[in-house]
Amino acid sequence: MSSKRYSKKDRQERLKKEIEDNPFITDEELCELFNVSIQTIRLDRLCLNIPELRERVRNVAKLNYKKVRTIGEAEIVGELIDLELNKKAISILQTDSTMVFKKTKIVRGHFIFAMAESLAMAVIDADVALTGVSNIKYKVPVLSGQKLIAKAEVTRIRGKNYFVHVKITVKDEQVFRGKFILVSI
Amino acid sequence: MSSKRYSKKDRQERLKKEIEDNPFITDEELCELFNVSIQTIRLDRLCLNIPELRERVRNVAKLNYKKVRTIGEAEIVGELIDLELNKKAISILQTDSTMVFKKTKIVRGHFIFAMAESLAMAVIDADVALTGVSNIKYKVPVLSGQKLIAKAEVTRIRGKNYFVHVKITVKDEQVFRGKFILVSI
């Protein structure tokens, strides 16, 4: 983070570089980074022909969905932004008020679980896979509006069993971790 | 099960008794039991003024929802048919084709998880509770149309931690079990 002000040309160059390095940075985060208003960021993106975050995520996700073998695109909870079959996968989920407990405004656990489980399935290089066992921990309550990033890693493959670890973070803080054993059938 | 035929009067008496003992028996199961057609069962229920299964479940569930403290009625996945706070709870979920993986027609794991987790929350006698840890096992794939019965049991309470076991069965066969540690906040 920096509160330095840049010239317009300078800022737009840095903005472009920033988005290339981290395609999932929000306009709000860019505001803070460059110490300018959100309108300025939007105009900069327009000038540079860089689509808004949602569009960028969708573009990246489109390519990844094609690689998934086990489940359908619509069955993945969140947007799939990276996938190497049998190795690793990343997805993003923008939480909203439809996902929370009324009483606490905390995101219901099974949405987070579904994000993790569906990513664990997507990363498997098999026609059909089902979850056998799972061991999960919710570490920090997630609030409506927070952006979840899930990272799955295939840690071991033994015959038809796939061991997958999934970690979910909000702004680098881990909120959930799950260990899954999936079985290809 | 019996393939004996009863007289109408005899059958209706036994039918009434059967539904009293097991209010969640389906018309299909009654058909098999009495070795008559489904129309006969429906007419018998009409004669005896016994509502259809869905209605019976709803009537029982209504009373139980009032007892739940932690979460809202709509937040429980399935119909809550029995509840003793801090002791045990039972829910029923009729699965359907909207819940399955396209490819396999198997019910998606997170619906089953959501049924178990929400029942574990409902059984807790606290204003607010969240899942901390969970250890689950999917034992048999569930197919669209199968009726799930979840039974939760509070096994231990230590300070703010509640230990809850949930078992889910389809026609007496266990398809899922989950151990949850919930935390009241």
Residue B131 sits at the chain A interface (C-beta within 8 Å): yes
In a domain, B164, yes or no: yes
Question: Most B CBs within 10 Å: which of A99, A102, A113, A127, as the mutation test of the B interface?
Answer: A113
8 Å CB contact of A101 and B72: yes
Cα angle B57, B59, B61 (rounded to 5 degrees) comes to 65
Query: The domain spanning residue B43 has which CATH number?
Result: 1.10.10.10
In a shared domain, residues B36 and B73: no
With a threshold of 0.95, tell me whether the complex ipTM lies above it. Answer: no
Residue B104 sits at the chain A interface (C-beta within 8 Å): yes
In a shared domain, residues B104 and B16: no
Pair B134, B180: CB distance under 8 Å: yes
In a domain, B125, yes or no: yes
Task: For residues B99 and B96, give the distance between their C-alpha atoms in angstroms, rounded to a whole number.
Answer: 6
Residue B89 sits at the chain A interface (C-beta within 8 Å): no
Amino acid type, A156: R
Kindly report, residue by residue over B119-160, the tens digit of the pLDDT: 999 999 998 889 999 999 999 999 999 999 999 999 999 999
Residue B38 sits at the chain A interface (C-beta within 8 Å): no
In a shared domain, residues A37 and A82: no
Spell out the per-residue pLDDT of chain A, length 185, in tens: 445 678 889 999 999 999 988 888 889 889 999 999 999 999 999 999 999 888 888 888 888 888 888 888 778 999 998 999 999 999 999 999 999 988 888 999 999 999 999 999 999 999 888 999 999 999 999 999 999 999 999 999 999 999 999 999 999 899 999 999 999 98
Q: Which domain holds residue A149?
A: 68-184
* 10-residue stretch averages of pLDDT, chain B, 185 residues long: 74 92 87 92 92 85 84 86 94 92 90 95 91 94 94 96 96 95 91
Give the minimum alpha-carbon distance from B110 to chain A in angstroms, rounded to a whole number: 5
Pair A103, B72: CB distance under 8 Å: yes
In a shared domain, residues B23 and B111: no
Residue A179 sits at the chain B interface (C-beta within 8 Å): no
Q: In terms of DSSP H, where are the helices of A8-128? A: 8-21, 27-34, 38-48, 53-65, 109-122
Domain total for chain A? 2
Closest-approach residue (CA) in chain A for B103: A71
> Which among B77, B133, B138 has the least Cβ separation from residue A131?
B138
A to B CB pairs, distance under 8 Å: 81
In a domain, A17, yes or no: yes
Pair B152, B99: CB distance under 8 Å: no
In a shared domain, residues A36 and A113: no
Query: The domain spanning residue B84 has which CATH number?
Result: 3.10.129.10
